[in-house]
Amino acid sequence: MKKLSELQIGEKGILSSVEDDFLEQQLLEMGVTPGQVIELERKSPFKDPISILVSNLLLSVRLSDADKIIINIENE
């Protein structure tokens, strides 16, 4: 298990949990649910925010929020 903030560009994982209730609610409202595959698409030049691909949606996530999102890496 890793935090979303620890992924490298192109790395994929399965959304396991969110450690912040407000953030979890925001993600659910956008259709991002546990069990979905998340891929880190790109990082901004200063590494904040990051862009993730979830179900053909490209979303920007603050690094502080990405630190609260737990991912299961597919090859572990």
CATH number of the domain residue 26 falls in? 2.30.30.90
For residue 76, the model assigns a pLDDT of 53
Domain count, the chain: 1
Of residues 76 and 44, more confidence is placed in 44
Q: Which two tokens mark 12?
A: 């994929």
For residue 27, the model assigns a pLDDT of 93
For residue 17, the model assigns a pLDDT of 95
Whole-model pTM over 0.85: yes
* % of the chain residues with pLDDT over 90: 83
Residue 22 above 90 pLDDT? yes
Q: Which two tokens mark 57?
A: 């949606």
Residue 55 above 80 pLDDT? yes
* % of the chain residues with pLDDT over 70: 96
20 touches 3 (CB < 8 A): no
Q: 15 is in which domain, residue-wise? A: 2-73
